[in-house]
Amino acid sequence: MEETLTHINNFLKHIKIQRGDSPHTLRAYKNDLKEFFNFAKIELEKIDTMVIRGFISEQILKGNSKTTVSRKLSTIRSFFSYLYNEGIITINPARVVSSLKIKRKLPKFLTVDDTFKLVEAPSEDKFTVQRDRAILELLYGCGIRVSEMCSLNLEDIELKDGFIKVRGKGNKERIVPTGQKAKEALKKYLAIRQILKIKKNFSSDETPLFINNRGNRLSDRQIRRIVLKYAKAIGLQDKIGPHTLRHTFASHLLMEGADLRVIQELLGHSSLSTTQIYTHLDLKYLIEIYDKSHPLTKEDI
């Protein structure tokens, strides 16, 4: 098992370099592989297709969702593909294991009215509140991932021209426009952030954009809590997170007639097929939501 752990650690280092996956994703891979080898209880060279299928069957019997089981299978496939390419094994036993058929869920998104209520919920003139407002405006205004938001630094913000530099999956950089509302929220936050920095004399060489009262970079978990906190404050019953605002950003652009390839570029999707899930949203439903919710359809404006 010690040799297997070495291979697992080398595999994780490999995909971190190749794909730039987040620490959270790498931990999930490691846990999946440990769980698989605890099930197998045999040496790496003796793993065959039947062992992998047995593990998948056990996961289904345990009541795990198809999405979870598919993720575990994907991890196992990636691992054995790495071992095969490195010449550590001569046969890849995971190559012929069939994938589970999963019904693709449509992304959950907010109406325009609910979105405005959410991003405008933080309204006090305090450091944490102005920070939270900037976070919400940026999540909706740019459609960035929570991991991308966590990694933003001060030098990534270009307020004059109204854009931010985002480092996405695989450490790929892209330019995303901020929009006027997000730009204004960022200006207010950066001003109050500078006051806090002088007052508390932050000495760190790091320049994270979003920080706590001690000057430390916010984690993805902290940002998720911020989004959920304000969602509850305005009475949204569903569990709302940063990814909901990302879906909302894309859905509202689609409703306004934005080209799918433009949305793909803004979201940082490597493949158009990933973005195409938004076209599966029922057009009639979108029109109804638009007529009810979009501010431009209100007669009194």
Write out the catalytic residue numbers. 145, 169, 243, 246, 269, 278
Per-residue pLDDT tens for 39-76?
A: 998 888 889 999 999 999 999 999 888 888 999 999 99
Cα-Cα end-to-end distance for the chain: 68
3-state percent helix, strand, coil for the chain, nearest multiple of 5: 60, 5, 35
Query: Closest Cα to residue 73, out of 54, 45, 88?
Result: 54
Which tokens is 48 given? 């065959």
Alpha-carbon span 175 to 178, nearest angstrom: 10
State residue 206's pLDDT score.
Answer: 67
Report the amino acid identity of residue 5: L
Which of the four pLDDT bands, split at 50, 70 and 90, describes residue 261?
confident
Alpha-carbon span 52 to 73, nearest angstrom: 8
* Assigned CATH class of 2-85: mainly alpha
Distance of CA 193 to the CA centre of its chain: 25
Tell me the sheet residues that pair with 165.
Answer: 175
Per-residue pLDDT tens for 270-294?
A: 778 777 777 665 454 556 655 666 5
Q: Are 143 and 249 in contact (CB under 8 A)?
A: yes
Query: Closest Cα to residue 246, out of 158, 141, 127?
Result: 141
Q: Are 209 and 220 in contact (CB under 8 A)?
A: no
Q: Are 145 and 24 in contact (CB under 8 A)?
A: no
Quick check: 109 pLDDT over 70? Answer: yes
How wide is the angle at C-alpha 104 spanned by C-alphas 99 and 106, nearest 5°?
Answer: 165
Tell me the sheet residues that pair with 153.
Answer: 208
State residue 301's pLDDT score.
Answer: 44
Give the pLDDT mean for 249-272: 85
Which of the following CATH numbers is that of domain 112-297: 1.10.8.50, 1.10.10.1100, 3.40.50.2300, 1.10.443.10? 1.10.443.10
Quick check: 298 pLDDT over 60? Answer: no
Query: What backbone phi and psi angles, to 5 degrees, belong to 61?
Result: -65, -30
Give the start-to-end residue ranges of the domains of the chain.
Answer: 2-85, 112-297
pTM, two decimals, is: 0.66
